[in-house]
Structure 1
Amino acid sequence: MSGLLFWKDMLLCFAALFLQERGLSLDRYTFLMYLCYLTYAPVYIAGPIVGYNAFAAQLEVPQKNYSFAQISWYGLRWILSFLLMEGMTHFFHYNAFVVSRLWQQLSPFEVFIISYGVLNFMWLKFFLIWRYFRFWSLVGGVETPENMPRCINNCHDLESFWKSWHASFNKWLVRYLYIPLGGSQRKLLSIWVIFTFVAVWHDLEWKLISWAWLTCLFFIPEILVKSLSSKFQATSSLGMLVHREFKAIAGAVTISCLMVANLVGYVVGPSGIKVLISRMAGKDALPSLAFIFTTFYVGVKLMFHIRDASKNQG
């Protein structure tokens, strides 16, 4: 028994020194504090992921980055977003077309519109869930990561799309999967493991597995193009114009690929791939697909202007 007490004291001593070097106190690491972390509603009910150290530190010293007026405005914006969701569910019936399988009777252009509507509906749904719990935690004095820092319609590449979707989960994946798997050195291989894990984490369904693998398949060209474009530095005005146009076309291709992946994952499913391909391969579908691609190209150009305006504003 004395030997166990000796090792226990030694362990506590080393833990105290380890925490002291990092500016942390041993009092934070108690069973009561850990139980509080596990049962804090904004963290565990579909809320954003926040680390234990950050949570414990903000219980001792509540966050001061947000004033009462800023938190109130955050809550008001959530109410306006909730009203927008109510309007969408009453006047736009994207999910009804998906569930009833009526999409099989529609043209490829209409199927793409339904997919785009479903994607925006999903974004707004998770936006409301995550921001509600973040607002709750801010009222309690605990600041948690923002999961929807950018609108879904302001992402022209897959990397920025996933970084701004479930941002806190993305950070968790980077820390516990991406870096241990080799990071940027083995990016082409690690994305397959990561997206398969994400699909299984959501639910064990073939349509989600198909969505994950299609996303990885579309991710590979983007990774290769980015690695090549980083080595190219345009200096002349013509070179910068060509580079910008190339990025806009690449962004339109990326959005089109993202739409196809979400069509398979959330609209047609693996069983409907053949029907979708046969529809898209028809001669009547070519004008519609060209119009959709042109729309995405114009949208990417608008995204460039928005980001340039944001940079100019500091």
Structure 2
Amino acid sequence: MIFSSIQYLLFLPIVVFLYWRTKGSVRVALVVAASYFFYMSWLPVYGVFLLALSSITWWLGQGLAKAYKENRKGDAKMLLAAGLLLNLGCLCYYKYANFFILNAIQGANWLRGLFAASQPQPWDVPILNVILPLGISFFVFEFVHYLADIYKGEKPISSFMEFSAFASFFPSQIAGPIKRYQDFQEKLTTPEPWSAPLFFEACALIVQGMFKKIAIADPIGVLVFPPFQTMQLLSAADATIAAIGFVIQVYCDFSGYTDIGRGSALLLGIRLPENFNLPYLSVDLAEFWRRWHMSLSTWMRDYVYIPLGGSRGGTWFSSRNLLITMVACGFWHGASWHYLIFGGLHGIGLIVNRLWKDVLKKSAPLSSVLETTAGKGLGLLLTLLFIAATDTVFRSPDMPHAFNMFRSLLNVSAPCTMMPALFKSGIIQFFSVYFSFWLVLELVSKYPEKLPWLRDTAQDMRLKFATPVRLASWTAAVILLFAAKPNEAIPFVYFQF
């Protein structure tokens, strides 16, 4: 069951109706039942795995809290280590085992060939037939956060049913946002009351996410798929269109998923954390990571970067910690060298960004120039170019394909073949104009100081569009979007992580 499917739009209203007809522990049990139904609709065995892992994690959390309260530091450390080993061990087995086996065997074959008198028969690589549980990278990180915070003295979730709701909550189960249990438990037990503004805000998020996914991300994804899969030399124009296209696709796909998830949770009175804040308007790489996948970047900061020492110890140690954190962030995305390289490039970029800011602190004239509109525009352009280049590494199946994309950028004499396909679908263009209009109104209302000449007009127009008119417009938009999309729902990009 995918968010952008008809099945989900039938499932969600039923859950919302039953949710507001129940109270207390029955309501929490309903959330758990609905979440497991949603999760097991992919594969029933997923639910068995999640139930087992969450049960053991909750039990370890209870013991950890008791050991902390009784000042048994040794026992607390052992329980924390057991919990981390269990959760990260499951993640490594399901997601990274074949990667480590493959590289170990390939390394052994290389060493044998290096020292052997004649070329030996290479060892075969055994492939483990494991099924990667959907969302494991996300809920394992939530479990690690849960245990680590209890070890620091935070109060655990005493009710197993409430912990199960945290562990399996369907609006965020597959691809985040990565929740913090303290915040989630509070909102689960005391949700926002049902009201018309809450309903319309939630519907707006869901329709916005549907539009991003169905009208933008999916069509662009179909266009950019072939260029990233081929080893043939592309034209510079086609390689550029594919790279920029994926930058747009991954944002609309992932933020669209988040919008639908946040809107779905809001229909239950639970407000999930924001995951994106206009990241492509960032003027430097550090700002980008404060705006992009915010739940992951803050998790990496709190549970990797700071435990390593953070910014303490001078430039060398803080740079080392930053690089390790970003390489881990890249590897979190997948078991492949190109994800490691993607993370390493962002680590190096953040180090350069930090060193550059140190230079600016010592040069007031240069700093003042970069604070101008032209200076910020240059920073925005350079940041987007870096994002497009590293996203090319991210999207490519492996590094040879990524190098082929970069090599194609030099093939300026070849003709462009992708441009006609960009304008093939008239209905997509119509909805792009339609929702762009609403997006401008939202941006102007949210950031009135940026476009003061449009502020009054935008606010007047928002007031004139009464709630029933907006609801009718959103409903019509969803119906037409589903009429225009392919029969088979396309999975979200981050489902593979």
Q: Say if 2:310 is the partner of 1:157.
A: no
Q: Which residue of 1 aligns with 2:321?
A: 190
Deviations along 1:27-75, whole A, 9 cap, x unmatched?
x5233332332233234332322222222222332236x9532442342
Query: Residue 175 of structure 1 is aligned with which of 278, 285, 302?
Result: 302
Query: What aligned pairs does 1:101-116 form with structure 2 within 5 A after superposition?
Result: 101=230, 104-116=232-244
Assess, with a 3 A threshold, how the Cα gap between structure 1 residues 274 and 45 changes in structure 2: closer, same or farther.
closer
CA distance in 1, matches of 2:257, 2:411: 40
Q: For 1:133, which of 253, 258, 261 is the aligned residue?
A: 261
Which residue number corresponds to residue 299 of structure 1?
none
The answer for the alignment partner of 1:221 in structure 2 is: 352
For residue 255 of structure 1, what is the amino acid of its counterpart? L
Q: Using the TM superposition, give the Cα deviation of residue 147 of structure 1 relative to its aligned residue in structure 2, in angstroms.
A: 0.8
In 1, Cα distance between the equivalents of 2:329 and 2:203? 30
In the alignment, the residues of structure 2 paired with residue 101 and residue 78 of structure 1 have an alpha-carbon distance, to the nearest angstrom, of: 35
Is 1:121 the counterpart of 2:261? The answer is no
Give the structure 1 partner of residue 433 of structure 2.
none
Render the CA deviation track for 1:255-282: whole Å, top value 9, x for unaligned: 2222211122214741145545544467
* Deviations 1:59-107, CA, capped at 9 Å, x for gaps: 332236x9532442342243144234333334774333335417x4433
Task: List aligned pairs for 1:200-211, cutoff 5 A.
Answer: 200-211=331-342
CA contact (8 A) 2:243 2:392 kept: yes
Q: Is there any run of 5+ residues in structure 2 with no aligned partner, and where? A: 1-62, 71-153, 415-442, 456-497
Instruction: Label 1:170 to 1:127 Cα distance change in 2 as closer, same or farther (>3 A).
Output: same
Unaligned residue ranges in structure 1 (runs of 5+):
1-7, 16-23, 286-302
Give the number of aligned pairs: 271
Question: How many Å separate the matches in 2 of 1:71 and 1:227?
Answer: 47
C-alpha deviation, 1:179, in angstroms = 1.1
Question: In 1, are the aligned partners of 2:262 and 2:271 still within 8 Å (CA)?
Answer: yes
CA gap 1:239/1:167 in 2 versus in 1, 3 angstroms: closer
Deviation track 1:121-178 (CA, whole Å, cap 9, x = no partner) reads 111111121222211221212222111222x432232122222221112121111011
Change (3 A) 1:227 1:72: same
Relative distance call for 1:100 and 1:140 in structure 2 (3 A) is same
In the alignment, which residue of structure 1 is the partner of 2:274?
146
Secondary structure in 2 aligned to 1:41? coil
AA aligned opposite 1:158: L
TM-score for both structures, normalised by structure 1: 0.71
Q: Identify the match of residue 262 of structure 1 among 356, 381, 391.
A: 391
Aligned pairs for 1:1-314 (under 5 A) are: 11=66, 14=69, 29-63=158-192, 68-88=196-216, 89-90=218-219, 93-101=222-230, 104-150=232-278, 152-185=279-312, 186-233=317-364, 240-241=368-369, 243-244=371-372, 245-267=374-396, 269-280=398-409, 309-310=449-450
Whether the 8 Å CA contact 1:94–1:118 is kept in 2: the answer is: no
Question: Aligned pair in 2 of structure 1 residues 284, 228: CA closer, same or farther (>3 Å)?
Answer: farther
Cα distance, 1:227 vs structure 2: 2.1
Deviates more, 1:200-209 or 1:42-51: 42-51
Instruction: Measure, in 1, the Cα distance between the counterparts of 2:364 and 2:297.
Output: 30
- Percent identity between the two aligned chains: 20
Q: Which amino acid aligns with 2:385?
A: S
- Counterpart contact for 1:81–1:128, Cα < 8 Å: yes
Give the alignment's TM-score, normalised by structure 2: 0.47
SS at match of 1:63: coil
Q: Is the 8 A contact 2:227 2:234 kept in 1?
A: no
RMSD: 3.7
